[in-house]
């Protein structure tokens, strides 16, 4: 058997899950793994065939199983060998479709009793019909019992019988969508769980609260009344409402049977013999680490890798997050953690906005976002049903309020020069002024070049965005590298005012002066010489 390091599962396209599966293969008696990617449905399916029932139950409860389901929309189902073969013998359509040979991504040839499906639709059709007929037979018995109680006017018993019928419906929906039933859960929990697979169920049950439903509460009260021999407390006008909800579940079962039937007949996946492979295409491990770290830190909808630079053996990843609650401080912490985790050869430029904020600000920033939010740059998405942005077409980019960004930057530079050129060499507060100028310059420059005004990010991130906006800005890296101390940590220290004496000397001030002069000249040429501001707004 291959070692975990050599095993790869290219069909998964998920480094996080691959690492877990390698460990499973080493630690447990995994017979087979089946993976089916279904972009048109809610979840993709990973079915893991394992020898013992106790192992299947224990592994199904692992936290990573739920994590993979929520984060990557991959449903992981551990099923022990005896149950898998029994359900196959019954013609279970879930097993028939999701355990086809073409779905096998791993098989341990040293273990016995693998499931290899060789029959085609013609041979399977009889089994499918028997399985479906068994559902209809028992369903008709349940429904007939309910109808008899309605004709007798036995109110409480009607609702308790409807409860059993709906429980029967839910069992089949669970079997057909997940291959397993949740008998230990109550009806509220089972409905809530099925919403993940069948969002339409939400239409049929009015919520009392986040996870409680009106009709289920009605069943509970009716059951309590029957046990206590209380009088009927529900009028027969409610029968129709319950019947409509139950019939809706029945229709969902019929639809799923029909869906699986068509999928099995069509044979969506080509049969092949490849079960596991040695990686012939190296994955970007650093990018995987970055994405995993981000997902562990904030609630992210999407991540875009929109730019990447390799310079002097250092690679910089530019990542755009569509997320909630990822403010500047959070981004700063994530960036610091990534640098400490990946080493000095890698750097990260993180931007983050909520989907709503981007949409409401497209009138100004669409040129920037439309270049980033593209399928070719998408590296992570929380699910496939995220809404598309309503892009403005046509969109005419313009530099709104450029005067209010350029003018303060210019005034800060003039104030800086005044202090530098003072013969008394009083440099008190100059370091903070220098930091303020650099931040103002970067934000203004980025806005001019990209029509995007960044938040008050770290100074290094702002500078890296300047280079993204115009790669020619790298020509000024030398003055940053020649600075008498670490340039960006120096700026960050002076983002906050400190009540202390200045220790700047003339040589240090001259270096700061060079930075301000060159960057201000660059901005002046861009804004004034290129005519971005009207004459009356230049001063």
pLDDT single digits (tens) 3-21:
434 688 888 888 899 999 9
pLDDT of residue 322: 94
Tokens 């005419």 locate to 396
Range with lowest mean pLDDT among 167-171, 319-323, 395-399, 442-446: 395-399
Give the pLDDT score at 68.
Answer: 94
Top-confidence residue, 40 or 205 = 205
What's the mean pLDDT in 68-87?
94
Number of H helices, E strands in the chain: 20, 8
C-beta separation of 519 from 441 below 8 A: yes
pLDDT of residue 359: 87
Look at residue 535 and tell me whether its pLDDT is greater than 90.
Answer: no
Euclidean distance between CA atoms 105 and 33, whole angstroms? 6
Whose tokens are 């290899």? That residue is 116
pLDDT of residue 256: 96
d(CA 327, CA 352): 7
pLDDT over threshold 60, residue 434: yes
In this predicted model, what pLDDT tens digit does every residue of 259-296 receive, in sequence order?
Answer: 999 999 887 444 433 333 333 333 589 999 999 999 99
Q: In the chain, pLDDT over 70 holds for what percent of residues?
A: 90
pLDDT at position 273: 35
Residue 227 reports pLDDT greater than 80: no
pLDDT tens-place string over residues 154-202: 777 888 899 999 999 999 999 999 999 998 899 999 999 999 899 888 8
pLDDT at 274: 35
Confidence of residue 151 (pLDDT cuts 50, 70, 90): confident
Residue 469: strand, helix, or coil: helix
Going by their DSSP bridges, the two strands 104-107 and 30-36 should be labelled as antiparallel
Whether the per-residue pLDDT at 346 is higher than 90: the answer is: yes
Quick check: 352 pLDDT over 90? yes
Tracing tokens 């293969």 back to the chain, one arrives at 25
Query: Which pLDDT band holds residue 440 (cuts at 50, 70, 90)?
Result: very high
Taking 70 as the threshold, does the pLDDT of residue 523 lie above it? yes
Of the candidates 66, 75, 127, 67, which has an alpha carbon nearest to the alpha carbon of residue 96? 127
Distance CA 445, CA 409 (A): 10
How many Cβ atoms sit within 10 Å of the Cβ of residue 360? 10
Please give the Cα distance from 515 to 480 (Å, whole number). 8
* pLDDT score of 492: 87
User: CA of 6: how far to CAs of 88, 131, 290, 448, 528, in Å?
Assistant: 31, 41, 23, 49, 60
What is the mean predicted confidence (pLDDT) over 145-152?
A: 86
If one compares 398 and 33, the residue with the highest pLDDT of the two is 33
| Mean pLDDT, range 370-392, rounded to an integer | 86
What lies within 8 Å, CB to CB, of 317 at 6+ separation is: 286, 287, 290, 305, 308, 346, 347, 348, 349
Which of 38-52, 113-127, 324-338 is predicted with the least confidence, judged by mean pLDDT? 38-52
Give the model's confidence band at 393: pLDDT under 50 very low, under 70 low, under 90 confident, else very high: confident
pLDDT for the residue 130: 96
How high is the pLDDT of residue 500? 54
CA–CA gap between residue 88 and residue 100 (Å, rounded): 11
pTM of the model: 0.51
**Structure tokens given for 370:** 């439309």
Classify strands 346-353 and 378-381 as parallel, antiparallel or unpaired: unpaired
Using alpha carbons, select from 226, 337, 243 the residue that is nearest to residue 290: 337
pLDDT of residue 234 exceeding 60: no
Lowest mean pLDDT among 94-98, 166-170, 293-297, 388-392: 388-392
* Percentage of the chain exceeding pLDDT 90: 58
The whole-chain average pLDDT of the chain stands at 87
């Amino acid at each position: 058997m291959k070692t975990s390091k050599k095993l790869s599962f290219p069909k998964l396209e998920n480094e996080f899950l691959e690492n877990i599966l390698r460990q499973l293969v080493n630690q447990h008696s995994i017979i087979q793994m089946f993976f089916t990617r279904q972009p048109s449905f809610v979840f993709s399916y990973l079915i893991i065939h394992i020898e013992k029932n106790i192992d299947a139950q224990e592994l199904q409860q692992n936290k990573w199983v739920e994590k993979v389901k929520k984060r990557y929309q991959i449903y992981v189902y551990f099923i022990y060998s005896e149950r898998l073969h029994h359900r196959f013998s019954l013609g279970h359509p879930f097993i028939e479709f999701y355990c086809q040979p073409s779905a096998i991504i791993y098989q341990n040839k040293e273990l016995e009793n693998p499931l290899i499906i060789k029959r085609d639709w013609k041979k399977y059709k009889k089994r499918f019909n028997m399985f479906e007929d068994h559902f209809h037979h028992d369903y008709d018995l349940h429904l007939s019992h309910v109808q008899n109680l309605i004709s007798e006017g036995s109110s409480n018993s009607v609702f308790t019988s409807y409860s059993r019928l709906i429980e029967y419906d839910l069992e089949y929906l669970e079997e057909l969508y997940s291959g397993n039933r949740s008998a230990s859960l109550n009806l509220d929990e089972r409905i809530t769980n099925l919403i993940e697979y069948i969002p339409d169920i939400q239409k049929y049950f009015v919520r009392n609260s986040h996870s409680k439903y009106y009709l289920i509460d009605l069943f509970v009260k009716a059951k309590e009344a029957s046990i206590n021999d209380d009088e009927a407390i529900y009028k027969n006008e409610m029968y129709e409402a319950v019947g409509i909800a139950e019939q809706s579940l029945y229709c969902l079962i019929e639809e799923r049977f029909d869906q699986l039937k068509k999928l099995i007949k069509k044979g969506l996946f080509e049969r092949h013999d490849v079960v596991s492979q040695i990686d012939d295409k190296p994955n970007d491990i650093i990018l995987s680490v970055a994405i995993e770290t981000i997902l562990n830190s904030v609630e992210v909808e999407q991540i875009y890798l929109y730019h990447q630079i390799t310079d002097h053996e250092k690679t910089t990843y530019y990542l755009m997050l569509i997320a909630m609650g990822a403010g500047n401080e959070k981004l700063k912490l994530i960036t610091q953690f990534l640098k400490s985790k990946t080493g000095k050869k890698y750097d990260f430029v993180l931007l983050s906005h909520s989907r709503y904020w981007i949409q409401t600000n497209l009138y100004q920033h669409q040129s920037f976002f439309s270049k980033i939010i593209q399928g070719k740059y998408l590296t992570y998405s929380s699910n496939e049903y995220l809404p598309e942005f309503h892009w403005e077409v046509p969109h005419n980019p313009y530099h709104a309020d450029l005067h209010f960004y350029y003018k303060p930057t210019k005034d800060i530079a003039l104030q800086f020069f005044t202090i530098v050129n003072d013969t008394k060499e009083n440099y008190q507060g100059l370091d903070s002024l220098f930091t303020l100028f650099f931040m103002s310059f970067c934000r203004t420059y980025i806005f001019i070049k990209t029509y995007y005004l960044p938040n008050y990010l770290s100074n290094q991130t702002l500078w890296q965005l300047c280079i993204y906006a115009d790669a020619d800005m790298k020509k000024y890296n030398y003055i940053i590298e020649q600075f008498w101390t670490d340039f960006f940590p120096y700026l960050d220290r002076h983002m906050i005012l400190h009540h202390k004496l200045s220790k700047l000397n003339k040589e240090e001030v001259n270096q700061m002066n060079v930075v301000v002069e060159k960057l201000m000249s660059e901005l002046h040429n861009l804004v004034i010489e290129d005519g971005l501001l009207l004459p009356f707004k230049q001063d």
